[in-house]
């Protein structure tokens, strides 16, 4: 049976060129980078070379790169680490209602530690309400964390504008309001660099690098406390260096920088064809910014809503046809709760449950799209015929609820 992978927002395959770069550090160059002997120093040199390569892409100093195990750890190190190191300056943190669970859980923890968290609402288009964010900043605000692009609906947030607001408010209040962004979905796909935030979280497996490695860019002069204690990474993140994966992340980042313009053009064309055809299915819509979104949406990521059916049901029927996609974030896929992202858009729970996220990657083809489009309408029709919502009165009432079509 034909196998098609449409879940690149969850993870990507390891690029063969990346694996080739990693293999020596898994087999022959296996020294611990903290060891003083030749094998250890060989690994250390490879790590520092990778650090410089990643710093060049982020347009920062290599001293500002902290290696972590993943994007979630990078988020926690940035948010919890900064909050605990600077609690004497203020106890107020601002984030949004549709952040990745890694950010939201870090903020929930800080609430137990005496911090006040403001969760900013988003518009029906899936963008952070800038005016509400601006009004939420007070003299006690020490940190703002807003993701660069949402992992479920793909909307790109105006982080440069938000960063400027933080700087302006810092000058107004004669304090320091640090801006952190979770760029896990954007690094390697669209431009993100050190001029756009004080701290940036990145994860390699989202751009064809290995799982289990990420980084936090932290601007020089910003103080944080470690959440994993140890002497590595200037005492900011303990643990034996994952040399092979660090080397792999740098290689994946370099490849992504070279390929992204060509890939993005391809993904834009595939997404346009996909969207035009799927929306021909009755009572179907796009969650977040719709068609013609241009640069406000990640290339290749679209979240569809289907009236009267469960996204999980569509997902399983597609899986039986060899098509792998998602209903939302992989990090919360075990939850039976409706997506917090879609609820934040204003959808009712029953509408939010009818979502399907398609996230394309560089290996996808027009033939993949054609195959998907050949099986989806039949699946939707079958599931709707099984739906308990069958009479016209229920359908009319239900149709009026969606705010994002």
Q: Tokens 């989806």 identify what position?
A: 376
User: HSE (CB half, 13 Å, CA atoms) of 90?
Assistant: 20
Chain-centroid distance of CA 255 in Å reads 19
Residues annotated as catalytic are 331
Decide if 68 contacts 77 (C-beta within 8 A).
Answer: yes
Q: Which of 391, 324, 379 is nearest to 354 (CA)?
A: 379
């Amino acid at each position: 049976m034909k196998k098609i992978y449409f879940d690149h927002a969850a993870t990507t395959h390891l690029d063969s060129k990346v694996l080739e770069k990693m293999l020596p550090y898994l087999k022959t160059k296996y020294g611990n980078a903290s060891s003083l002997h030749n094998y250890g120093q060989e690994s250390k040199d490879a790590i520092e070379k990778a650090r410089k390569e990643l710093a060049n892409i982020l347009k920062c100093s290599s001293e500002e790169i902290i290696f972590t195990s993943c994007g979630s750890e990078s988020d926690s190190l940035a948010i919890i680490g900064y909050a605990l190191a600077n609690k004497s300056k203020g106890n107020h943190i601002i984030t949004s209602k549709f952040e990745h669970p890694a950010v939201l859980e870090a903020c929930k923890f800080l609430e137990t530690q005496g911090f006040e968290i403001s969760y900013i609402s988003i518009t029906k288009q899936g963008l952070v309400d800038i005016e509400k964010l601006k009004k939420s900043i007070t003299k006690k605000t020490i940190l703002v964390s807003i993701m660069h692009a949402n992992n479920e609906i793909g909307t790109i947030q105006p982080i440069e504008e938000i960063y400027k607001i933080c700087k302006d408010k810092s000058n107004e209040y004669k304090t320091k309001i640090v801006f952190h962004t979770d760029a896990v979905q954007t690094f390697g796909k669209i431009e993100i660099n050190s001029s756009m935030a004080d701290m940036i979280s990145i994860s390699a497996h989202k751009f064809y690098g290995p799982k289990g490695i990420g980084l936090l860019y932290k601007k020089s002069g910003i103080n944080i406390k470690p959440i994993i204690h140890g002497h590595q990474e200037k005492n900011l993140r303990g643990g034996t260096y994952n040399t092979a994966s660090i080397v792999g992340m740098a290689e994946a980042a370099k490849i992504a920088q070279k390929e992204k313009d060509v890939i993005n053009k391809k993904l834009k064309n595939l997404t346009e064809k996909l969207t035009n055809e799927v929306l021909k299915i009755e009572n179907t819509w796009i969650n977040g910014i719709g068609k013609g979104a241009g640069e406000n949406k990640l290339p290749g990521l679209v979240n569809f809503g289907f009236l009267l059916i469960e996204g999980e049901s569509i997902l399983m029927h597609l899986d039986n046809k060899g098509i792998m996609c998602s209903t939302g974030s992989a990090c919360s896929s075990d939850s039976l709760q409706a997506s917090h992202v879609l609820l934040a858009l204003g959808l009712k729970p029953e509408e939010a449950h009818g979502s399907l996220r398609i996230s394309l990657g560089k290996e996808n083809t027009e033939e993949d799209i054609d195959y998907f489009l050949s099986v989806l309408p039949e699946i939707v029709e079958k599931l709707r015929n099984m739906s308990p919502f069958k009479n016209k009165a229920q359908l009319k009432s239900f149709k009026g609820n969606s705010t994002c079509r």
